[in-house]
């Protein structure tokens, strides 16, 4: 049986917090730090895991959803913690992100958010995980004046996660018809 070495994720990039989030990846998972200049480690997940090998029709469907989703502003400020210890920021407002996830999940019912592990899916930007030395308070202190911050959700990206190969496969501007930017890596990936 062939097993894929990685997985794809649909995300809304959050460049304003890239420096902080990338530093946490460098600390915990340096093998997943991307060398792709367009890759944004700081993101709010729209749907994950997504299809391993999306077809042209699948990409067209995502493009249509992105084109029908207007770009929007949101704020990030209050550090929170999920019961499993994941330290994160919740966007305000939540509704546009929840709506985007709902539309993508409806279009791809075989891809439930987080593989169906959670009864309630809350849009969030992951910052860290609780440990003996990491708490919401220590994370907030590390963030310093990086938050609160106002951001703009202006694109949806299909990112690939694999040791040594994290990259953007396709980027679609929100609210714009027919403007996808496909990475040459997508064609190379499909030929594997």
The pLDDT tens digits for 13-36 are: 999 999 999 999 999 999 999 999
In whole angstroms, give the CA distance from residue 106 to residue 118. 17
Query: Which pair of structure tokens corresponds to residue 186?
Result: 């997508």
pTM: 0.90
Contact 122, 84 (CB under 8 A): no
Q: Which helix (H) or strand (E) holds 126?
A: strand 125-129
Q: What is the pLDDT of residue 179?
A: 62
The pLDDT tens digits for 40-66 are: 999 999 999 999 999 999 999 999 999
Instruction: Tokens 């959700």: give the residue.
Output: 153
Domains of the chain with bracketed CATH: 7-190 (3.90.1140.10)
Which bin fits 114, alpha (ψ -120 to 50), beta or left (φ > 0)?
A: left
């Amino acid at each position: 049986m062939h097993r894929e070495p990685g997985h794809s994720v649909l995300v809304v990039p959050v460049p304003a917090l890239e420096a902080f989030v990338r530093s946490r990846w460098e600390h915990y998972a340096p093998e997943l730090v991307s060398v792709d200049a367009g890759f944004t480690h700081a993101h709010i997940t729209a749907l994950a895991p997504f299809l391993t090998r999306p077809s042209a029709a699948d990409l067209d469907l995502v493009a249509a959803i992105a084109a029908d989703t207007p770009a929007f502003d949101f704020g990030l400020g209050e550090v929170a913690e999920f019961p499993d210890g994941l330290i994160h920021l919740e966007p305000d407002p939540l509704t546009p992100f929840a709506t985007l996830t709902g539309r993508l999940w409806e279009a791809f019912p075989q891809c439930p958010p987080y593989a169906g592990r959670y009864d309630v899916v809350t849009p969030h930007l992951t910052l860290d995980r609780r440990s003996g030395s990491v708490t919401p308070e220590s994370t907030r202190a590390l963030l310093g004046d990086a938050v609160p911050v106002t951001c703009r959700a202006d694109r949806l990206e299909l990112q690939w996660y694999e040791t040594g190969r994290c990259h953007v496969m396709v980027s679609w501007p929100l609210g714009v018809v027919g403007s996808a930017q496909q990475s040459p890596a997508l064609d190379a990936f499909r030929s594997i």
